[in-house]
Structure 1
Amino acid sequence: MITIEEFKKKQSYKTRLIGLDLGSKRIGVSICDTNQSIATPYKTVNKTNTNNLINELKTIIKENDIKGIIIGNPLNMDGSSGRSAQSINDIASNISKSINLPVCLWDERLSTVGAFNLSSQLDVNISKRVKNIDQNAAAFILQGAIDFLNN
């Protein structure tokens, strides 16, 4: 895995990236456009095991010509790493070793809350909000990263 600064150096402007919100039961997936300006929710994947996740990611990456991976890093509100951050780091490390693309962790504090609030403002009904929360959180994470990469 690399830092966001190293990630920025390795990326060209006209490439698509994938964003991941790794949860304990589901994985939210988002993809940005080739200009890296807009992150869009893509799908939610049920988490079974890391090998199945990696195979699913490889398929998505190939189908969408993805050139880099941003993974939400669930830091505590004080910026420290907790138990969930360590688990995410382990999975991210496995993804990095298995997929030949740059992988970067991005601070995801409040991404799920932000995604839920945004869908609430858009007047999305509660069952759709809950159903799509993981992929919306992934888009929230990826949007934060691409905003940073573009500045």
Structure 2
Amino acid sequence: MKRALGIDHGDARIGLAISDDLGMLAHALETIYVKETVDPVAHIAAVVASRDIGHIVLGLPRNMDGTYGPAAEKVRAFAEKLRTACPCPVKLWDERLTSVAAQRSLHEAGRNVKNSREVIDQVAAQLILQGWLDSQAMLG
């Protein structure tokens, strides 16, 4: 199985996570700083090519009532750019509460959330990807 890439999209930062070779565990990979990166889509396409990625799992923000807001539209537009630039499927995955869970995980690990901004998006991407990997394992 090819690896999967998890993405937590944000206006300022984009967190990336990658699966292990067996497709069982998600690991934090890197944070892309949007204002410092000329083309985040091209950067992600390079990661896809260099790491032999078979699936991209992009977190889709939803409101707690299940509706979609303006952030979801930005993610959908970003997904279309990724689909054009990358040869693998791009899946949208419900990311409700992943940022909250990422903050909680860092806090439980003894990390100050304010000092963890560089990794919080990676952890959120890791949670998004792990949720998708777990769902794939249940499908058999």
Aligned equivalent of 1:80, options 67, 78, 99: 67
Aligned equivalent of 2:16, options 24, 29, 35: 29
Runs of 5+ consecutive residues of structure 2 not aligned to the other structure: none
The residue type equivalent to 1:92 in the other structure is A
Contact 2:63 2:96 in 1 (8 A): yes
Q: Secondary structure at the match of 2:11?
A: coil
Indicate the percent of aligned positions where both proteins have the same amino acid: 33
Q: CA RMSD, aligned part only? A: 1.7
| C-alpha spacing 1:126/1:75, structure 2 compared with 1 (3 Å) | closer
The residue type equivalent to 2:45 in the other structure is K
Shift of 1:129: 2.4
Aligned equivalent of 2:124, options 128, 137, 141: 137
Does residue 114 (structure 1) correspond to residue 101 (structure 2)? The answer is yes
| C-alpha spacing 1:36/1:128, structure 2 compared with 1 (3 Å) | farther
Counterpart in the other structure of 1:149: 136
The residue type equivalent to 2:103 in the other structure is F
Q: Distance in 1 between matches of 2:103 and 2:116?
A: 6
Contact 1:16 1:33 in 2 (8 A): yes
| C-alpha spacing 1:39/1:128, structure 2 compared with 1 (3 Å) | farther
Shift of 1:52: 0.7
Q: Distance in 2 between matches of 1:147 and 1:51?
A: 34
Q: Distance in 1 between matches of 2:113 and 2:60?
A: 26
TM-score, L = length of structure 2: 0.92
Contact 1:120 1:129 in 2 (8 A): no
Shift of 1:131: 2.3
Counterpart in the other structure of 1:10: none
Runs of 5+ consecutive residues of structure 1 not aligned to the other structure: 1-13
TM-score, L = length of structure 1: 0.85
Shift of 1:50: 9.5
Q: Distance in 1 between matches of 2:125 and 2:113?
A: 18
Q: Give CA-to-partner distance per residue, 1:114-144, whole Å, 9 cap, x none.
A: 0110111111233442221111100010000
Q: Distance in 1 between matches of 2:63 and 2:114?
A: 28
| C-alpha spacing 1:49/1:95, structure 2 compared with 1 (3 Å) | farther
Contact 2:14 2:32 in 1 (8 A): yes
